[in-house]
Amino acid sequence: MTTEEPLLEVRGAAVSYRTRAGTVTAVDGVDLTVRRGEIVALVGESGCGKSSLGRAVLRLEPLAGGEVRFAGVDLGTLSGTPLRQARRRLQMVFQDPQSSLDPRRTVGQIVERPLKVHRAGTPAQRRAKVAETLDLVGLGSRFLDRYPAALSGGQRQRVGIARALVLDPELLVCDEPVSALDVSIQAQILQLLLDLRERLGLALLFVAHDLAVVRHLADRVAVMYLGRIVERGAVDEMFALPRHPYTQALLSAAPVPDVAVERARSVPLAAGDLPDPLAPPSGCAFRTRCPHARPVCAEVTPALVHDVACHRQDELPPFVSPIIHSGG
């Protein structure tokens, strides 16, 4: 499904927010690529900056530094008509399907809205496109006149996906699209996204806080901590042998179905919560929670070397993921 040419290139991206208490750097010098037809998952705890990065890709948040290139074009240089044309090619699926849909509009009106905004087609052509797209996400034209309040959570999210697809984009940014859904519904939506990738050749930037959710979805994973990517790589390799202590902590926190494995496994959980983003730790931001931290970790910010940002990556004991070991 993938080619070597990057569809999306993020270079040195930075996103900052001004608050009454000071300036928060939500994204700090992130590099990321997504190739055509590829699914890249962006994973980390709440507050790590992954959603800010996803929104910055779509220019819903301004960049404080760096650039975002789509199909070789720097989106930061576009405005007016060229920007609107570029935005047709990359769309977003939001986290909460209830709050992201206008309760006063029907499903047909919600899905048609992007076509109207971009002045695409005649009314008859738009109606046909909406019906076709609803079929594509497993709903069908019988939902055209229904309101969001009459739908289940999974059906609402399918409407949100249809709204994103109706302009025939090449890239979807999915901001935790299953976190508000029941586990059984999550699996259905994830399978729908996989099917759409196969049928349409879509690329996805999939934002999530749970590594287990993306194991069967993504081709590659990038793990974020306090605005920076600390590890990235192929999904199978990262699940089999995670190298950064934070990635290990995320995996160790994921429940596994095997009771024996659950009881016997070593759990290198990260202590405490995310540091205050207004006053991040010096050096490695994860050092205040890391069981392997040494003085150098407080003095020097680790670079992303061999796809891992850890001073001690060659010294740490091997870690076998409990999810892999349990077959979960």
Residue 98: exposure state from Cβ atoms within 10 A (0-12, 13-18, ≥19): middle
Decide: 56 and 27 in contact? Cβ < 8 Å. yes
pTM above 0.75, yes or no: yes
**Percent of the chain predicted with pLDDT > 90:** 72
Question: Rounded to whole angstroms, how far apart are CA atoms 228 and 248?
Answer: 16
Q: What is the pLDDT of residues 226-281, one digit of tens each?
A: 999 999 999 999 988 899 999 988 888 766 555 555 555 555 556 677 888 899 99
**Gap between the Cα atoms of 48 and 210, Å rounded:** 13
- Residues 29-69: pLDDT tens digits? 999 999 999 999 999 988 899 999 999 999 999 999 999 99
| CA separation for the pair 71, 88 (Å, rounded) | 13
What does the pLDDT read at residue 317? 80
Retrieve residue 178's tokens. Answer: 């299953």
**Cα 40 to Cα 172: distance, rounded to the nearest angstrom:** 11
Contact 307, 232 (CB under 8 A): yes
**CA triple 80-85-91, angle to 5 deg:** 115
CA–CA gap between residue 286 and residue 104 (Å, rounded): 45
pLDDT tens per residue across span 127-149 = 999 999 999 999 999 999 999 99
Burial (CB < 10 A; 0-12, 13-18, 19+), residue 65, is middle
pLDDT score for 254: 66
| pLDDT band at residue 2 using 50, 70 and 90 as cut-offs | very low
